[in-house]
Amino acid sequence: MTMLKMDRRSFVIGSATVGAGLALGLKIPFGPDVVRAEDGSPEVNAWVVIRPDDTVVIRVARSEMGQGTITGLAQMVAEELECDWSKVTTEYPTPGQSVKRKRVWGDFSTGGSRGIRTSHEYVRKGGATARVMLVQAAADQWKVPASECTVANSVITHKPSGRTTTYGKVAEAAAKITPPANVALKDPKEWKLIGKSVKRLDTLPKVTGAQVYGADLKLPGMLTAAIKDCPVFGGKVQSFEAAKVSGMPGVKHVLKVGESAVTVVADTWWQAKVALDALPIVWDEGPNAKVSSADIAKMLEAGLTADQAFVGNSNGDVKAGLASAAKKIEATYAYPFQNHAPMEPMNATAKYTPDKCEVWVPTQNGEAAFAATTAASGLPADKCEVYKINLGGGFGRRGAFHDYVTQAVLIAKQIPGTPVKLLWSREEDMMHGKYHPVMQAKLTGGLDASGNLTALQFRLSGQSIIAAVFPQNLQNGRDFLTFQGLHPSGDFGFGYTVPNLMIDHAMRNTHVPPGFWRGVNINQNAIFLECFMDELALAAGQDPLAFRRKLMANHPKHLAVLNAVADRVGWGKPAPQGVHRGLAQMMSFGSYVAACAEVSVTGGDKIKVQRIVAAIDTGYTVNPAQVERQMAGSFVYGLSALFMEECTVKNGRIEQTNFPAYDSMRIAQMPKVEAIVMPSGGFWGGVGEPTICVAAPAVLNAYAAATGKRVRTFPLKNHGITLV
């Protein structure tokens, strides 16, 4: 587990890296003094606060950005707590509180579809521990054995006498009880709330407009800042003429931020933006000022045939297998840079004094935001605090990267005592993202005389996110994340058995910073692999489903989801007139996923995605309705990327600066989605990201079936292909 140094005193609070887990076990500090929430209600333990009216406040460390994590985690705590779900609400603990309490809430990071699957055990223990303490408190008051008491819907009953009490009445006493060292968790067969499609807890404030996002935040005496960073990554500020805009309406300050950015601070954001646009700035664009997309593509192309590469998965002798093949098939694919483009641009509000630095921020990782705050402020951890706000979209941009927090604190330090809200413009958000990594792939397959796949060579050439963000996590130089969906086993296991296999990666990094874009590398890997599987099936003269099934005999869970979607659409039976089908399957973030797309094509270049049937096996499912929504939502993201979204580079900078050049699909273009949620038990898979990867290859395979044309570079708009 990688530890982050939080400030100059090297105060370690835990991990904000990919794959991090709970650093400490369930350790809940208790003593004679009751820990209380802000309203004075007693805290039974770190996860559970109970008010006198029986309202249960469940504290959740993960972040809510529309995916439903808050509701799912609350369900798991409430399941073991046996409380009245209709009286459940939630709140975020702060990273500062977590530090002081020895990280009792575990990992704050919300990404990699890990919110539930890596915290399910300890949050359930939090609920179970609180339940035991509440029952014990009631038993003590009645002077009866706790074993004679039962609990349901926040009501404790003494079975022999019939006496009852509620959680709200005994919470104060329960908070003083020493928690048990060990508690038993329910068998999944006993679950009453986990596995049920309960309503989300955060819907009402969103539909009424009561939900406050970071961009909405207002504090007394607050000023607002707009910012411009050097448009070329790696460049710096050379000079700017503050006097030219200092007298403009509302302008309070014109400041340099770090080495590469300039900000205008004003009474309102629009005043700051107008002044910033009028501010003369001279940039030192540095060594990357002439780099273009063509330069980057040429560098990646060279990697496709380079001698040196990092091996991700191999068996047999692929060279011999290809040499002896009766037929050899080859294809080259390319995938572009893409921006996260959340509806809410990057923002953070900071207030700095020499004794305290506070930040209010929409973040996927409160601990990483806390790390950025302590580093930028120069203050020790006990003089800093971060208050998490629900996100107006994250998709990975607000996870490991908190450049906007650093900027906000650096601005606030120059205006001590005044809260400053930094809000990026859409242009700043587009030009200074952490982009989906650019990648090319060359695949070569060998078939024997019977059409069996005997050899597969799969070369990736492109960026490494880990090399750019967490280089200490490279494995002898190899980026394990690059091989998502292609690993020999694990959460991203390869779903086919090929006698001779070589999957490797020629690392080619660019000056454009890569980031964890929703689903990350499995998105392009699924396109490369699953489209090539259709190409191989065509060359073998076989049905794409039958061809896959032969290779998947040793991968029953992969095969089960693929069979589920094939059965639902009636694969093998004629499709409706003018409709064509395509398949795809992968293992992603610990879950098994598959999709079948049904499309119609007019004029050879206008695609209507009529329907996508998708299946997911997450092992255990907490809230099936939320899973279905996440599946449909992921297809919006994946199909928008496939058809429309690309970030290109000219003169070292990103060319797309707003939504007209970086579009998204409309509601009318959205296909009907039929979700098959088929948990098989025994493991915990992810939900938020897994299915995004199968939509694009399923649609591409259906398009190829309809037209006979195979597209291998993206987005489709570059080929004149539109979504209707």
List, for residues 81-104, the tens digit of each pLDDT value: 999 999 999 999 999 999 999 999
Structural contact between residues 593 and 561, judged by C-beta atoms closer than 8 angstroms: yes
d(C-alpha 717, C-alpha 106), whole Å = 44
pLDDT at position 310 over 60: yes
* pLDDT of amino acid 33: 67
Per residue in 129-147, pLDDT (tens digit) is 999 999 999 999 999 999 9
pLDDT at position 22 over 70: no
Copy the structure tokens of residue 526: 């699924």
* pLDDT of amino acid 97: 94
pLDDT at position 3 over 60: no
248, with CB counted inside 10 A (0-12, 13-18, 19+), is middle
Name the pLDDT band for 38 (thresholds 50, 70, 90).
confident
Domains plus CATH for the chain?
43-194 (3.30.365.10), 214-286+346-423 (3.30.365.10), 293-338+435-723 (3.30.365.10)
Per residue in 425-454, pLDDT (tens digit) is 999 999 999 999 999 999 999 999 999 999
Q: How far is CA 74 from CA 24, 48, 150, in A?
A: 21, 10, 21
* pLDDT of amino acid 11: 28
DSSP annotation of 288 reads G
Q: pLDDT above 70 covers what percent of the chain?
A: 95
State the pairing for strand pair 606-617/722-723.
parallel
Structural contact between residues 151 and 82, judged by C-beta atoms closer than 8 angstroms: yes
| Residues linked to residue 436 through DSSP beta bridges, in sequence order | 338
DSSP annotation string for 43-112? EEETTEEE-TT--EEEE--SPPSSS-HHHHHHHHHHHHHT--GGGEEEEPPPHHHHHHTTTTT---B--T
